[in-house]
Chains A and B, each alone.
Chain A
Amino acid sequence: AQKITQTQPGMFVQEKEAVTLDCTYDTSDPSYGLFWYKQPSSGEMIFLIYQGSYDQQNATEGRYSLNFQKARKSANLVISASQLGDSAMYFCAMRGINTGGFKTIFGAGTRLFVKA
């Protein structure tokens, strides 16, 4: 069975500082993809970043980077230079390429609060 765990229900960060949102996963699929999504208070889901299980380098997208530690089965999201607009709910997700088929599973989410 596949599982995503986000252990931080809420996080606070000062504006302009970096923050790490934790995500651990479990899967028996040798090939999988890891994703992070952002959900602002307006409710839409926004794709942020993707990491493939065979990618040698950590993924980066602007101020977002994914700290991928395969042996530890962790895929933490790092947001650098936090902005007030980063206040939102963040979801870690995973899709097993072989056994997971087309299905993506999501963690329970972490709510990030950015303080001015």
Chain B
Amino acid sequence: NAGVTQTPKFQVLKTGQSMTLQCAQDMNHNSMYWYRQDPGMGLRLIYYSASEGTTDKGEVPNGYNVSRLNKREFSLRLESAAPSQTSVYFCASSGPRTDNYGYTFGSGTRLTVV
């Protein structure tokens, strides 16, 4: 099925460990995003990529890095995980800025840092 694929779905890390969350979309969308969801706070933008070859910080970028590998793939890296990064992470993609149809989201990654 067409859409956004995120891996892994669940992950437990120890403080200080690193990991990369993978995201791929097959809708030929230019723009891709990483959000984190915490209870009572909605979704907050970590990083986004407006188009292949560009990335920009969002609202909460500290402790994260991203790579737009190609038009399909946008990865999120935690270099040294901290308990404050325990969250649910969503990747999303969208078409042109004037697109009416909102974001298409991946199924999410539940990350626990102990």
Chain A interface residues (CB < 8 Å from chain B): 4, 9, 33, 35, 37, 43-47, 50, 52, 91, 93, 97, 101-109
Contact = CB atoms under 8 A, between A and B. Distances in A.
Contacts of A47: 101-104
A52 B102 CA distance: 11
A37 B58 CA distance: 20
Nearest to A6: B42
6 contacts: A9-B40, A43-B108, A47-B102, A91-B42, A91-B43, A102-B94
A103 B58 contact: yes
Contacts of A91: 42-43
Given A35-B102, A50-B101, A103-B58, A43 B43 contact: no
B107 A97 contact: no
Question: Which of B101, B102, B108 has its CB near the most chain A CB atoms (within 10 A)?
Answer: B102
Given A103-B45, A107-B42, A108-B40, A45 B97 contact: no
A93 B31 CA distance: 17
A102 B48 contact: yes
Nearest to A33: B100
B98 interface: yes
B31 A52 contact: no
Contacts of A104: 33, 45, 102-103
Contacts of A50: 100-102
